[in-house]
Every structure is written in structure tokens, then in C-alpha cells.
Amino acid sequence: MYIDCFDYGCRGYRIFSSVEQFWAYYCHLTRPSDLTTHSDIHIFRDGIKPMWEDPANKNGGKWIVRFRKGLASRCWENLLLAMVGEQFMVGEEICGAVISVRFQEDIISVWNRTAQDSYTTTRIRDTLRRVLGVPHNTVMEYKTHNESLKIFIQLFHYSFCVIV
């Protein structure tokens, strides 16, 4: 089962457990190309929140693929169908996927449970490349959630000094 969360507050929430249920819901969902800048769509397994701290995600990571504007909508659709259709063949390892619409690019990421399992992360990468239909030389970055959390803390950690 997957849930669809538009943000961490889950403005839109829908549970589906089959490709047919997913497709009925997806047909009414706004496509990434029609979203405003700085919008995200999260599709995660039931019970997993799209947060690094979630128990299912805390030891995991994500594959990240960046696209020029206008190229990601079809790739996103292909990815979701592959996830619901279990084409990745890594069992419960896939936690979910995110598309982030930004000013100059769109970013697709696939989150998994176990960052240290190189066989599984490689299999996810290879399946992702095939499903997205991107050339073999396309840059695909793997980042652990621990790395992401450290970067976030560094970027948003402020020190204040009061001069009296």
C-alpha cells in the first residue's frame, strides 16, 4: 500500500493497494509539470512518513535524479507505475518516492530502507535508470539520510552573539 502526501502535513492522503486503485487516483492528480515552483509530491508506503527520522528511513538513503524543466512528468509516471507494480524486485526495501518541482529543474528521488546494502542500492539504481528511460551517462546521486540530515543541520545551524 502507498499513501500520497503532498507535504509533511499530508494535505492529500489516499491509501491504495493495487495498480487499478492507484491509477484511478492518479488520473485526478495534478501532474508535476502543472505544479507551482517549490512543490513536492510524496508517494510512500502506508505507515512510512516522508521524513529522514521515520524508523523505516533512518538507516536508508535515496537515489536522486535531476531533470531539466518539463522532462520529469513522464518519468514520474513511469516510476510510480514501476513502484506499484513492484518492478524493482527488492521486496520492502523501497520506502517511497518524491518529485520536487524547483525553479530551474525537477528532482526525482527514490527512498530506500538500507543505505549500507550495496547490492540492493545498485539494483534500485539500475531499475530506476531503466524505468526512467535515462541514458547510461545520466548523473544519479545516492545520498544517505544521515548525510542529508548533517547537511541540513550545517545549513540551518545558527550561532547568535549578543554584544553588550
In tens, the pLDDT along 6-60 reads 444 445 566 777 778 877 877 877 788 888 888 888 888 888 888 888 888 899 9
**What DSSP letter does each residue of 89-126 carry, written as one string?**
--GGGEEEEEEEE-SSEEEEEEEES-TT-HHHHHHHHH
Residue 85 DSSP label:
T
Taking the C-alpha atoms of residue 17 and residue 90, their distance in angstroms, rounded to an integer, is: 18
pLDDT at position 149 is: 66
Q: Taking all residues of the chain, what is their mean pLDDT, rounded to a whole number?
A: 83
Higher pLDDT, 96 or 25: 96
Higher pLDDT, 52 or 69: 69
- Of all residues in the chain, the percent with pLDDT exceeding 70 is 81
Domain 2-156 has CATH 3.20.20.450: no
Question: Mean per-residue pLDDT for 94-120?
Answer: 94
Is the predicted pLDDT of residue 120 greater than 60, yes or no?
yes
* Domain residue limits, the chain: 2-156
pLDDT at position 12 is: 58
Q: Hey, what's the torsion of the CAs at 120, 122, 126, 127, to 10 degrees?
A: 20
Q: Whole-structure pTM over 0.85, yes or no?
A: no
Which one, of 76, 116, 117, lies nearest residue 99 by Cα? 76
**Residue 51 one-letter amino acid:** M
